[in-house]
Amino acid sequence: MSRDPSRDVAIVAFAQSDSLRRTDDLSEVEMLMPVLHDVLRQTGLKTSDIGFTCSGSSDYLAGRAFSFTMALDGVGAWPPISESHVEMDGAWALYEAWVKILTGETDTALVYSYGKSSPGSVRDVLTRQLDPYYLAPLWPDSVALAALQAQALIDAGETDEPALAGIAARSRDAAVGNPHAQLRGARPQGDHVVAPLRQGDCPPIGDGAAAVILAAGDRARELCERPAWIRGMDHRIEAHSLGVRDLTDSPSTRLAARRAGAFDGAPFDTAELHAPFTSQEVVLRKALKLDETVRVNPSGGALAANPVMAAGLIRLGEAAAGIHRGESDRALAHATSGPCLQQNLVAVLEGEPHVR
């Protein structure tokens, strides 16, 4: 397939809130608005300049139906705008916006997502995404399901508790340089939450929001000194039932990566992996064939800040921001959703060798 350079799409700006354990004094739109203003300010765009707006969030986190409509106040949805919402992490909203730009319908898109885990019990809330016939009546929480995967990895000889603790420590050390992260610096692994996973193997529970602006071709070059070009992006899903999957592998990540072009071209210098549990990084590194030359989660990743529904979009944003700053030339970004890495999205981002 020949490529039309005017339809090359880039992430041209990224903003995120601090990830905080509680944000009682802020409604969702109050939490989101500074992030939207930040990302618009970076490009000089006004909301009326944006061709398409797409968001990701979850009613189950909010405990209210159609909760995303309230957040629309923050983007100035009057007069009417072209808008869409995914009941998923904002990474999938970014995918939708990318497709919209590829069709030629628009040259710019605003993508945002947010989640407040603090009002409810996120471990219980996430059980409601499970199969309602065979799984949900047993209330297996998100840590329990991740722990089953961790034990499968240990049994297969692919990791052990000290190795998992090493992933936890590396992630939180890296987060020292990330002012938005929730857990920064060394901390004890703690007791088993659900063995073999300890407190330190699990992500913090927090609230947060993120936003990204996408633009096509020359528009992207006008808006950003060094756009993070999306060279490929794909997402794949595996069978819902954990009992039919090999939990030590992630064929959906590997397939999405292949289709996104991750295994072609120059090696990656950076990978932002959406691995809320330490054990999931082991699975993703294998699926993506990442070796020690690749910087994994220099932001600290989801182990340092995991605002549900925004953590995947933040991976794409962090990878792009590294390119904007000139610290990275070719980065892989990954987002996940569902139990034990059920759904996976992979994007390949590149900066041009020469700044204009």
Partner 1 sequence: MTATPATLRAPLVVEFPFTRSLGPVQAAFLTGLRERTVLGVRTEGGQVLVPPVEYDPETAAELRELVEVDATGTVTTWAWNPDPRPGQPLDTPFAWVLVRLDGADTALLHALDAPGPEHVRTGMRVRVRWAAERTGAITDIACFEPYDSERDAAPARPHDGLFDEPVTGIVAAARLDYTYSPGRAQTDYLHALAEHKTVGERCPSCSKVYVPPRGACPTCGVATTEPVEVGPRGTVTTFCIVNIKAKNLDIEVPYVYAHIALDGAGLALHGRIGGIPYDQVRMGLRVEPVWSEDGRYPDHYRPTGEPDADYDTYKELL
Enumerate binding residues for partner 1 (CB under 8 A): 24-30, 33, 36-37, 47, 60, 63, 70, 72-79, 119-121, 123-125, 128, 132-141, 144-145, 147-152, 155, 191-197, 239, 241-244, 247
Backbone phi, psi, residue 8, to 5°: -65, 135
> Which contiguous run of DSSP H or E holds residue 253?
helix 251-260
CB 284 within 8 A of CB 334: yes
Q: How far is the CB of 8 from partner 1 (least distance, A)?
A: 28
- 143 or 260: whose CB is closer to partner 1? 143
Structure tokens at 99: 């497709």
- 243-246 contacts, C-beta under 8 A, 24 or more apart: 245/340
* Cα–Cα dist 128/328, whole Å: 38
Give 148 or 215: the residue with its C-beta nearer to partner 1.
148
| Residue whose tokens read 């992996």 | 273
Q: Nearest distance from residue 123's CB to partner 1, in Å?
A: 7
Shortest Å, Cβ 50 to partner 1: 10
Rounded least distance, CB 80 to partner 1, Å? 11
* Cα–Cα distance for residue pair 141/162, rounded to 1 Å: 24
C-beta separation of 19 from 305 below 8 A: yes
Kindly give, in sequence order, each residue whose CB lies less than 8 Å from that of residue 297, ignoring residues fewer than 6 positions away.
171, 174, 271, 272, 273, 275, 281, 303
Q: Which residues pair with 20 in a beta bridge?
A: 207
**Cβ-based nearer residue to partner 1, 70 or 165:** 70
Closest distance of CB 10 from partner 1, Å: 23
State which residue, 37 or 170, has the beta carbon closest to partner 1.
37
Angle at 323 between CA 32 and CA 211, to 5 degrees: 10
Residue 28 or 272: which CB sits closer to partner 1? 28
Least CB distance to partner 1 at residue 278 (A): 14
**Given the complex with partner 1, which of 72 and 99 has the nearer CB atom?**
72
Q: Cβ 237 to partner 1, closest distance in Å?
A: 11
Nearer to partner 1, 150 or 273 (CB): 150
117/92 Cα distance (integer angstroms) = 19
